[in-house]
A and B are shown apart, each in its own frame.
Chain A
Amino acid sequence: MNLSPELRSQVMYVDVLIVGAGPAGMAAAIAAREAGVDNLLVLEREQNMGGILRQCIHNGFGLHRFKEELTGPEYAQRDIDKVKELGIEVRTGTTVLSIDEDRFVTAISRDKGVQMFEAGAIILAMGCRERPRGALATPGTRCAGVYSAGTAQKFVNLEGYMPGKRCVILGSGDIGLIMARRMTLQGAKVLACVELMPYSSGLNRNIVQCLQDYDIPLYLSHTVIDIEGKERLSGVTVAQVDANRQPIPGTEKHFDCDTLLLSVGLIPENELTEMAHVEMSALTAGAIVDDSLQTSKEGIFACGNVLHVHDLVDFVSAESFKAGKAAAEYVQGKKRVGKYVNLKDGNGVRGVVPQKLLVPEGEAETVQIMFRPAGVYKNATVRVMDGDREVARLKKLIFTPGEMAELNLKPEVIKGLSGGDVTIQIEQ
């Protein structure tokens, strides 16, 4: 960056700079500090650490990592306590505005104004956001009363304000299901949960405990075809869809309601990643990374929901610990030498992460790969193919798009790779 000497004197150097203090950013910071990085800084847009977990007041977090079921705020608090105990500097209320490939970063906050940083390494941990209504083809009027499920979750759980009394939910992902129960418990009537696909992407546990417990009907292969209301929503029309997801005439149902919650998917928040010209994956909507979570730009790492949308925060933390450690090793000058191979999506597999794997000259370590099944596969086997040679496999009773699949590649498998592309595929 070409700066005048005056401006240059205002640039602060940090060894490892982390964007976002959600579970990903916090875990990365903890791991980097524990790996010996003293000059470490976390920048967080909100006034509080914890990310989206702050509004997820239901329980079910932390079973893998802490072997107990915590609520979102409790899970976040454990990391917040650790970050404080380690004396890691976190600037809250500070939004990162830009990042470039030379790791020059600008940010802004109310009390400090514009700040400039040069970083030895950057860890991107900005999380994801919900798909807004505009991204959907929902027809009808633009009246009040249509919210994303996450926005409603924030209203109810953080601000203590109910968005409505009679509610329909479009989308049966976990956030939609959790909100069906929350609205019911807080006194609203939830009339229906409507899902376009023939299956729900939510956990069975949530279907049972959030819908069935409260007799809320789930309409699979249905969608909202009309939204009515002048200023405030007054009703929605729902219809069944055919195999091409087109509404079937004559199957319409009408619901009088004042609220429609949309729970139709999450998108990684990657504006900053793109500014740094990091190579992106169309399948995950996140950066392309290697097994150390390094992006195509040296010294820039990504982890958590900004990399790919996770179901479980436990896996977000595990991935982010790795990113923090790798960033620390990078600034400490520990070079990784070896040859890269590409990991590719085969039949039935979508969005393998990492997309690149280093076959090191020295000893290899176990590498975990993650992906989403493209459909529901029963009694199926995931096969990892090095050309036409199978190098690893995983058999399971069921693979569903709602549950991220993971598989470990052992050191001896990695050392034995030929160097050509490796394909992950599901066979039934």
Chain B
Amino acid sequence: MEQQITCINCPVGCRMTVTVEDGKVTNVTGNTCKRGVAYAEQECVAPQRMVTAVITVADRKTPVSVKTRTPIPKVKIFECMKQLANTEVKAPVHMGDVVCANVCGTGVDVIATKTVE
């Protein structure tokens, strides 16, 4: 199967055509340097994204910002957001605290990115 993607590693933004067979990248064209190939191998087989969001803090008017500690599979983004929308934490929350462990079974924790005393 052929896929068209844009390499995001530098401002050149090469438009690449990537051939994927049996879950493996077999051919990449359109890239200018080898970073494009590495990107295609990740992006066309197992794309991942960091997710950042805000979640409610009980009895507080303002929310706390959070992130997944590491990227999660792209297909899990909305499921992750849904779980976070239903998550509430209690103050105090400190930067780095786990607010939601193993989000959507990805094995990745969601942690606070700011401190609410």
- Interfacial residues, chain A to chain B (CB-CB below 8 A): 54, 57-59, 69, 71, 73-74, 77, 156-160, 185-187, 203-205, 207-209, 212-213, 397-398, 400, 402-403
Contacts and interface: CB of A to CB of B under 8 A. Distances in A.
Contacts of B78: 185
B95 to A, nearest CB: 6
B54 A73 contact: no
Contacts, number: 77
Contact of B62 (A71, A158, A205): A158
16 contacts: A57-B54, A71-B52, A71-B67, A71-B113, A73-B95, A74-B95, A158-B63, A159-B63, A160-B61, A185-B51, A185-B77, A187-B85, A203-B8, A204-B13, A208-B5, A208-B6
Given A209-B8, A402-B11, A57 B52 contact: yes
3 nearest A-B pairs in the assembled complex, by CB-CB distance: A160-B63, A57-B65, A205-B8
A213 B74 contact: yes
Given A157-B54, A185-B77, A398 B12 contact: yes
Interface string B42-86: 000000011111101000011101010000001001100100010
B25 interface: no
Contact of A204 (B7, B52, B65, B74): B7
Contacts of B50: 59, 69
Contacts of A205: 8
A212 B12 CA distance: 17
Interface of B: 5-8, 10-13, 32, 49-54, 56, 61-63, 65, 67, 74, 77-78, 81, 85, 95, 113-115
A397 B31 CA distance: 13
Contact of A159 (B49, B62, B74): B62
A407 to B, nearest CB: 16
A73 B6 contact: no
Contact of B113 (A73, A156, A208, A402): A73
B11 A59 contact: no
Nearest to A208: B8
Nearest to B81: A185
A59 B81 contact: no
A204 B6 contact: yes
Contacts of B5: 208
A81 to B, nearest CB: 10
Given A59-B67, A157-B65, A185-B77, A204 B11 contact: yes
A54 B53 CA distance: 13
Contacts of B7: 204
A403 B113 contact: no
Contact of A203 (B11, B54, B63, B95): B11
A185 B54 CA distance: 10
Contacts of B62: 158-160
Contacts of A213: 49, 74, 77
Given A57-B65, A59-B67, A73-B114, A160 B11 contact: no
A59 B52 contact: yes
